[in-house]
Amino acid sequence: MYGNDFAGPDAGSDGGLLGQVEAAEAALRAAAHRGRVEGDPAALQDYFDAVIDADQKIEPRDWMPDAYRRGLVRQIAQHAHSEIIGMQPEGSWITRAPSLKRKAILLAKVQDEAGHGLYLYAAAETLGITRAELVDMLLDGRQKYSSIFNYPTLTWADIGAIGWLVDGAAIVNQVPLCRCSYGPYARAMIRICKEESFHQRQGYEILHTLSHGTPEQHAMAQDAVDRWWYPSLAMFGPPDTDSTHSAQSMAWKIKRFSNDDLRQRFVDMCVQQAGVLGLRIPDPDLRWNSERQAHDFTAPDFDELMRVIKGDGPCNAERMAHRRRAHSDGAWVREAAAAYAAKQEEVVAV
């Protein structure tokens, strides 16, 4: 599951998500230029609080509460694992993409996911944990990744639905993280969000083309939206009433909006976009509520979410097996590279 928090809708220069990323980057620079926060760094907790109050960033070697460090490691690692595991459902369509243009786009997108996983592991490592430890925790199940990647990609239209809905939900979750109080995470998220701006659009374009293509293609697109809608809503996490980490995360400016607020925002964005696609959102109770100025909608099945997180989703075993296989198949390569590096150092030493 991705973290969540986002800037107000008016924060961006163009009101769009990319505009919000740019606004977050400008805010980061502006806060940095306001000069050092008043206070005595030796008064650890007070100084930490003062930096956060001033909307400046906590940096790797600063003192920070243990729970802040642990919470960030958990969240960033989970995010990194999600990028790495998230390569699999889409990656399996690279060899089958129906045109060379689509093949190139999908390759570049899956490659970005590997890159984004790496940016995030790098950010997590600044908190005093190694990537090797994080990967071990992924492989032995101590750390989780987003449950969304435990659903299968049955048809090409799933590549479109993942781009539109899954990346769309991820962006709504991620854009606010560009303002996270931990510097390395905020900077990694700014870079990731800028690069990801094409991911959602390519998915939307795939669905639009299919929806306006042959009747079989249209049906394929509708089927994919039907299957990915509720799992995408579940990406925002449990309802606020059950959310465990929220209050402290908000105080520390790791998170600024609740799971339910973000989910609502996502639904409101999707309704208009589905209309343009000519596809139906599979929720008979979806309708505009003029009193709330928002759409009423059916919540995802949170029991299912919990089951999938605990390992009982359609593809959990397959995803982990793939990751473990890549890791163990590559062991001889990593050993060889280390042995070669050691030999070269001996040569230099002589």
Partner 1 sequence: MTGEPLFEVFVRPRRGLSHTHVGSLHAPDAEMALRNARDVYTRREEGVSIWVVPATAITASSPDEKDSFFDPAADKVYRHPTFYDVPDGAKHL
Partner 2 sequence: MTTVDYVLRLGDDALVTAQRLGAWYAAGPEMEEDVALANIALDQLGAARLLLTYAGELEGAGRDEDALAYQRGPADFRNCRLVEQPEPDFGVVIAKLLLLSAFQLPCYEALAGAGDERLSAIAGKARKESAYHLDHATLWTLRLGDGTDESHQRMQASFDTLWPFVDGLFAGDDGGPVDPAELRKAWTSTVEDVLGRATLTVPAPVAEPTGERTHLVELLAEMQQLHRAHPGARW
- Nearest partner of 185 among 240, 237, 120, 279, judged by Cα: 120
How many Cβ atoms from other residues are within 10 Å of residue 227's Cβ?
20
- State both tokens at 344: 């070269």
Q: How far apart are CA 62 and CA 192, in angstroms?
A: 24
42 to 61: interface string for partner 2, x by CB under 8 A: --------------------
Q: How far apart are CA 2 and CA 145, in angstroms?
A: 8
Residue 272: which region, alpha, beta or left (left: phi > 0; alpha: psi -120 to 50)? Answer: alpha
Minimum separation from the CB atom of position 302 to partner 1 (A): 35
Should residue 322 be labelled a site residue for partner 2 when binding is judged by CB under 8 A? yes
Should residue 100 be labelled a site residue for partner 1 when binding is judged by CB under 8 A? no
Should residue 195 be labelled a site residue for partner 1 when binding is judged by CB under 8 A? yes
9 to 28: interface string for partner 2, x by CB under 8 A: --------------------
Should residue 334 be labelled a site residue for partner 1 when binding is judged by CB under 8 A? yes
Should residue 214 be labelled a site residue for partner 2 when binding is judged by CB under 8 A? yes
- Nearest partner of 235 among 287, 270, 201, judged by Cα: 270
Among 10, 38, 100, 132, binds partner 1 (CB under 8 A): 132
Span from 14-22, 191-199, 204-212, 236-244 in contact with partner 2 (CB under 8 A): 204-212
Given a contact cutoff of 8 angstroms between Cβ atoms, the answer to whether 181 and 57 are in contact is: yes
- Interface residue list for partner 2 (CB under 8 A): 84, 87-88, 91, 94-104, 107-108, 110-111, 114-115, 117-118, 121, 156, 206, 209-210, 213-214, 216-217, 322-323, 325-326, 329-340, 343
